[in-house]
Amino acid sequence: MDRATAPRTPHLTSRLPQVGTTIFSVMSALAAEHGAVNLGQGFPDFDCDPRLPDAVTAAMGAGHNQYPPMPGVPALREAVASKIEALHARQYSAATEITITAGATQAILTAILATVHPGDEVIVLEPCYDSYVPNVELAGGVAVRVPLTPGSFRPDFDKIGAAITPRTRAIIVNSPHNPSATVWSAEEMQQLQDLLAPTDILLISDEVYEHMVFDGAEHQSAARFPGLAARAFIVSSFGKTFHVTGWKVGTVAAPAALTAEFRKVHQFNVFTVNTPMQHGLAAYLQDSAPYLQLPAFYQAKRDLFRQGLEGSRLKLLPSAGSYFQCVDIAKVSDLSEADFCQWLTRELGVAAIPLSAFYRDGFDQRVVRFCFAKKDETLRAALERLRRL
C-alpha cells in the first residue's frame, strides 16, 4: 500500500481551539489520586428522596418507555407552569411556552443557537459558568465579557451599559451565581429591566440554583419582571433541585415566539428527553414541599461549613445562595489560586476550585470555591483537615 492510499485520519480545524480539559475534571482526578475530600465539583454525594426514583420506576412499569412529545411530557410542562405561577405570579402556557430539556447546559446552548447569528455579540458576566462562552462561539457569536465587581461580585450596570452595541443580541445572567454564591436583588433585576427596555436584547437567565436562597431572602426570577420575562429564556434544573444531577433534565420557560425558535433547534440537537423520568418528575412535583424546604436544607449545610471555618485564616465571603462557599486565601498562602488548590488537595486532602478558572484571563483575586452539597460527615471530614491551615 503506497502513501497515497494508506489509511489516514483527516485533519480538523477545531471549532473550539481554546478548550481543553476543564478544571473540574483536573481537580476531581487529583482528589481521587490523593484520597482527598472532593469539595470541588458541584454535585451532591447523597441520595435523592426515594419517592422520586420510585415514581420513575412506576412510570416505566406503566409503559411510559417510548418517545414523548418533542417539547416534553404535557403533565410535566403543566407542573412546571403551575410552579412558576405559584412562586412568581407569572403565567406560562404549558403548550407553547415551557420546554423540557436534557439538562440546563443543553437548554443554554439551544437558546444561544436559536438566537445568535455569526457576528452577534453576547454579554457574559465574569466569573461565569464554563459553558457560556463556548456556546456563543459555536453559534459564531462574539462573547463580550463584563466583570462583576471584584470582591462583592455584584453587577456593574455602568460597565454592562457601556458594553452594549448595535450588535448585542443577548446577555446571560446567573442568579444565584456560580461560582460566587451571590444573589441578585430585586433592585438589580429592576435595573437590568430598565437597561434593556429600549433595546431588542434577549436575556438568558440561568436560574438553576433558584431554590437555594438563604437567610429568608427570595429568589428574584426574571419571571417576576414583565420587561425581562417578555425577552427571556428562563432556565432551571431538576438535577440541581432534586439532587439528581446525573439525570440531566431541565426546563426552559420563554414567550411563545421565543419558544417556537428554541424548539426548532431543540428538535434537531436532542429531539426530546427520556420519557419515564419526565413522568416521574411530573408525579413528584405534585408535592411542593421538597423544593420549598430546599433553602433550609442547604442553609443548614452552609452554616455547618461556615461555623467549622470560623477562627481559621480562611476569610469567608458571603454565601447568599447556590451550594457554594468562597473563601479568601490571602492570609493562608502566597500561592496563586490554582497552585493553592493543587497544594490543598495534595497536602491537606481537600479539593477546591480556583475562581481564576471562571475568568478568560485567569484573573486571580486570591479566592477559591468549595461546594457544600455534601453529607454532613463529608463536610466534617473536610473541616477537620482545613482546620490545620
All CATH 3.40.640.10 domain ranges of the chain, comma separated, are 52-287
Distance CA 292, CA 378 (A): 24
Question: Is pLDDT at 4 greater than 80 in this prediction?
Answer: no
Distance CA 367, CA 125 (A): 17
All CATH 3.90.1150.10 domain ranges of the chain, comma separated, are 23-48+292-386
Distance CA 120, CA 170 (A): 9
Three-state DSSP class for residue 158: helix
Identify the helix (H) or strand (E) that includes residue 28: helix 23-34
The closest of 371, 349, 212 to 294, measured between CA atoms, is 212
Strand partners, 170: 122, 202
Give, in degrees to the nearest 5, the angle at Cα 173 between 238 and 372.
50
Q: In the chain, pLDDT over 90 holds for what percent of residues?
A: 93
Q: How many CB atoms lie within 10 A of CB 54?
A: 13
Q: Is 248 left (phi over 0), alpha (psi -120 to 50) or beta?
A: left
Question: Is pLDDT at 1 greater than 70 in this prediction?
Answer: no
Question: Is pLDDT at 3 greater than 70 in this prediction?
Answer: no
As a whole number, mean pLDDT of residues 251-256 equals 98
State the pLDDT at residue 24.
Answer: 83
As a whole number, mean pLDDT of residues 237-252 equals 97
User: Over the stretch 10-46, which tens digit does the pLDDT of each residue have?
Assistant: 999 999 988 887 888 888 899 999 999 999 988 899 9
Cβ–Cβ under 8 Å, residues 329 and 366:
yes
Q: What is the pTM of this model?
A: 0.96
Cβ–Cβ under 8 Å, residues 169 and 121:
yes
Cβ–Cβ under 8 Å, residues 51 and 290:
no
State the pLDDT at residue 380.
Answer: 97
Distance CA 45, CA 88 (A): 30
User: Over the stretch 215-238, which tens digit does the pLDDT of each residue have?
Assistant: 999 999 999 999 999 999 999 999
User: Over the stretch 68-108, which tens digit does the pLDDT of each residue have?
Assistant: 999 999 999 999 999 999 999 999 999 999 999 999 999 99
- Identify the CATH homologous superfamily for domain 23-48+292-386: Aspartate Aminotransferase, domain 1 (3.90.1150.10)
User: Over the stretch 129-138, which tens digit does the pLDDT of each residue have?
Assistant: 999 999 999 9
Three-state DSSP class for residue 32: helix
Bond into 176 cis (ω within 30): yes
User: Over the stretch 331-372, which tens digit does the pLDDT of each residue have?
Assistant: 999 999 999 999 999 999 999 999 999 999 999 999 999 999
* DSSP characters over 95-110: TTSEEEESHHHHHHHH
State the pLDDT at residue 20.
Answer: 80
Question: Is pLDDT at 201 greater than 80 in this prediction?
Answer: yes
Question: Is pLDDT at 6 greater than 90 in this prediction?
Answer: no
State the pLDDT at residue 41.
Answer: 84
The closest of 98, 91, 106, 109 to 73, measured between CA atoms, is 98
The closest of 231, 250, 226 to 239, measured between CA atoms, is 250
User: Over the stretch 161-195, which tens digit does the pLDDT of each residue have?
Assistant: 999 999 999 999 999 999 999 999 999 999 999 99
Higher pLDDT, 17 or 1: 17
The architecture that CATH gives domain 52-287 is 3-Layer(aba) Sandwich (3.40)
CA-CA distances (angstroms) from residue 240 to 5, 42, 298?
A: 51, 9, 12
CA dihedral for 318, 194, 265, 113, sign (positive or negative)? negative
User: Over the stretch 148-159, which tens digit does the pLDDT of each residue have?
Assistant: 999 999 999 999
